Structure 1
Amino acid sequence: MQNAPFPLRNVEMGCDADRFELDDAMMFRNILIIKLRHIGDVLLSTPVLRGLREAYPDARLTMLVNRGTEGVLAHNPDLNEVLCLEKGSWQAQLTFVHMLKGRRFDAVIDLTDGDRSAIISLATRSPVRIGFNAEHRWRGLLYSQVAKPRPMDQHRVEYDLCALRALGLDPKPGLPAVFVSPAEEQVAEDWLAQAGLVSGQGAAPLVWLQPGARYSLKVWPPDRFAQLADRLVDRFGCRILLGGDQREREVAELVARKARCGPIVVAGKFTLLQFAALVKRCALFIGNDGGAMHIAAAMGTPVVALFGPTYPQRWGPRGGPVQVIYKGLDCRACYHPTCLRGDDSCMQQIGVDEVYGVASRMLEHAIARAEHE
């Protein structure tokens, strides 16, 4: 069990997979990449896009993702097109798959590790279909080649890059990337000015707290976020922003009511990339495991990541300075849909003092860096 926060390090990428001849791989001109997961998963797959663009500078790269995750790929220079898989009738689904078949992709790289995406991969009729099959299910038969990462508990960035090794490529380890437009940067600047939170020297440092998460088992108690906010404001005179999407606004408002420091609730007010522009201007991000955490790290913002039932060695944020607080409990017995540990659950074991200590050190460093810039 790990009772102390630890920094995440890049690990050497290992893959076991037969390869295509590189001369054959160079023939690829129209490639489909599939990632039917959540925002953080899509972001962690962006080093694959960089590797493909470097290997095939003239190829058309199309990415298929779930509706609602496409924002993280906006302005990505390595992609020509982003397609969204809609939730609809079977007829609509079949029409969409028929459209994919008509695109005549000469290679499909499925990064999803799921049955539905494997079926879509086969339906494209592409002669080259690379995918994962960690669960050793029947879907492995639908690919022309199964990528085999090793070890299986390596970080997801390296795991996904193993798909490129099956194409005969030797991708470099990379960091997830989010690209923000000047328009989104301006939205952030305008809002900060209107809120009286002007950035720059002499301004109070901004700390972004993300108290919500997609799954309740990943949520640190709201009253502890409130206590943390008050203690950070008392010591550093910082301003607290409480973030999240519209579904997480309720928990953000709950934290605001419990805190005496007057945090600003911004949950649900900004698009994904407007959030990225805002969090880039923050001295620190503190939050539960989720897509916002990954975006903050990718933007270079120092991150304190609170992990419970998921493994930071595989799903930890990559990018700027990161400290993970993780208790290392084995959650396989009760991860979903409920936890059997009650007050001894992994998130309950993370104390305010522990998070405050880590956050204070990181905030001190961030403030010192800002003063010397």
Structure 2
Amino acid sequence: MAGIRLAEGDTVVVRMPNPLGDAVAATAFLQGLKRAFPSLRLVLAGRHPGRELLAGLDFVDDFAVVPKVKNAKDLWRASRSLARQEAAAAVVLPNSWSSALEARLAGIPHRIGRPGTRRRWLLSHVLDPVGPPRPMTDFYWEFLAPFGDALIDQKPPSPTLSVTSEEKALAHRRLAQEVESEAYLAVAPGAAFGPSKVYPLDQMAEVLRILRQRLAWMPLLLGSPSEASLLRELAELLGPPVISTHRQIAGLGEMKALLRRSRLLLTMDTAARHMAAALGVPQVVLYGSTDPRWSAFQLEDTTRLWQTDLPCRPCHRPICPTEHECLAGLEPKTVVQACLQAIATE
């Protein structure tokens, strides 16, 4: 497979993964690509949430929003959005068939991706299959190989995010309307993947009550629109004082700024963890059904907890068919101790 040669000022479109945590992990690859080709016009393509998440990154030149492909019309719109970039190459980070087809229909000459279900013919440069669990930063770093084998031998930079002045203003306005606090303990209790990744709310409330008393930090509950009821339930179990965003869910931009204002994040294995790590905020991460090897990157300020003696995990099932022992078995006192140790090393 011949390497891809880029001319001065060429455009490369990177089709970003839809899961937000994966998009954060992919920023290491984006930095490496821009570092190797400083004159490159780097255009990201993805859904609206990805644009908000990655706003303000100085190594990204543009973001092309593509629709979710539900029919032929959506596919045509997505491919036209890519075609308008007049790119020399497309890096297709998702493993979906539609994302590869979008790049092919856009007429982009070089199309890099992994072989998925019947999509090898859609790509000009086919990488190795997904393979065994490994850090997602390494998984995406391997996409540099077609641009030069020596590039992947370099150490990937850390994933990063930026907080814009507008996002900071949103967070400031929200916190100014709440109970004043000198320090915030951010909590992201939900998981889009499914309930198998969610710590039981009564146990989470117990953890937060203890930490609130010990530290005098204000719990700050964060989540997506689909998690509003979960945030409300946790706030009711915990009782005041607490700041919950369930009435007015914070967008991803504001969420970045709220995380930046926090001293610690207590979270599941979700995008919130990767966002906090990319922003330099310490995290305590509770793992349920998922394999921690995929998220084993940027661990300098990360404390990870999971049950090591359960034969059923990691099962990667969104709903546990048994007693949810992988998370229910994590005692609140263990989580509290992990949080106290995490802030002791700040």
Normalised by the length of structure 1, the TM-score is 0.83
Q: How many Å apart are 1:104 and its aligned residue?
A: 2.8
Q: How many Å apart are 1:26 and its aligned residue?
A: 4.8
Establish whether residue 233 from structure 1 lines up as the match of residue 212 from structure 2: yes
Change (3 A) 1:141 1:332: farther
Change (3 A) 1:98 1:238: closer
Which residue of the other structure, out of 110, 129, 135, is the alignment partner of 1:155? 135
CA contact (8 A) 2:195 2:318 kept: no
Of 263-272 and 46-55, deviating more is 263-272
Change (3 A) 1:261 1:125: same
Q: Which runs of 5+ in 2 are unaligned?
A: none
Change (3 A) 1:118 1:234: same
Establish whether residue 342 from structure 1 lines up as the match of residue 318 from structure 2: no
Q: How many Å apart are 1:232 and its aligned residue?
A: 0.6
Establish whether residue 111 from structure 1 lines up as the match of residue 101 from structure 2: no
Change (3 A) 1:97 1:229: same
Establish whether residue 294 from structure 1 lines up as the match of residue 274 from structure 2: yes
Aligned residues: 339
SS at match of 1:304: strand
Change (3 A) 1:331 1:131: farther
CA contact (8 A) 1:36 1:117 kept: no
Paired residue for 2:24? 43
CA contact (8 A) 2:8 2:39 kept: no
Paired residue for 2:175? 192
Residue identity matched to 1:100: L
Q: Distance in 1 between matches of 2:14 and 2:292?
A: 25
Q: Distance in 2 between matches of 1:29 and 1:333?
A: 43
Establish whether residue 91 from structure 1 lines up as the match of residue 73 from structure 2: yes
Q: Distance in 2 between matches of 1:254 and 1:317?
A: 32
Residue identity matched to 1:250: S
Residue identity matched to 2:200: P
Q: Which runs of 5+ in 1 are unaligned?
A: 1-17, 367-373
Q: Distance in 1 between matches of 2:311 and 2:125?
A: 33
SS at match of 2:58: coil
Write the mapping of 1:305-316 to structure 2, written as runs, cut at 5 A: 305-316=285-296
Change (3 A) 1:337 1:266: closer
Change (3 A) 1:241 1:102: closer
Q: Distance in 2 between matches of 1:342 and 1:360?
A: 28
CA contact (8 A) 1:149 1:162 kept: no
Write the mapping of 1:54-133 to structure 2, written as runs, cut at 5 A: 54-87=35-68, 89-133=71-115
Residue identity matched to 2:186: W
Change (3 A) 1:320 1:188: farther
Establish whether residue 209 from structure 1 lines up as the match of residue 191 from structure 2: no
Q: Distance in 1 between matches of 2:295 and 2:314?
A: 19
Write the mapping of 1:2-41 to structure 2, written as runs, cut at 5 A: 20=3, 24-26=5-7, 29-41=10-22
Residue identity matched to 1:144: S
Pairwise CA RMSD: 2.5
Q: Distance in 1 between matches of 2:21 and 2:130?
A: 22
Q: Distance in 2 between matches of 1:333 and 1:190?
A: 41
CA contact (8 A) 1:288 1:307 kept: yes
CA contact (8 A) 2:290 2:314 kept: no
Normalised by the length of structure 2, the TM-score is 0.89
Residue identity matched to 1:209: V
CA contact (8 A) 1:19 1:167 kept: no
Residue identity matched to 2:12: I
Deviations 1:183-240 (A, max 9, x none): 2223323433332435xxxx3x311111111022111111111000111112122211
CA contact (8 A) 2:199 2:327 kept: yes
Which residue of the other structure, out of 160, 182, 204, is the alignment partner of 1:177? 160
Q: How many Å apart are 1:156 and its aligned residue?
A: 0.6
Q: Distance in 2 between matches of 1:95 and 1:271?
A: 26
CA contact (8 A) 1:38 1:66 kept: no
Change (3 A) 1:95 1:238: closer
Q: How many Å apart are 1:261 and its aligned residue?
A: 4.9
Of 219-228 and 60-69, deviating more is 60-69
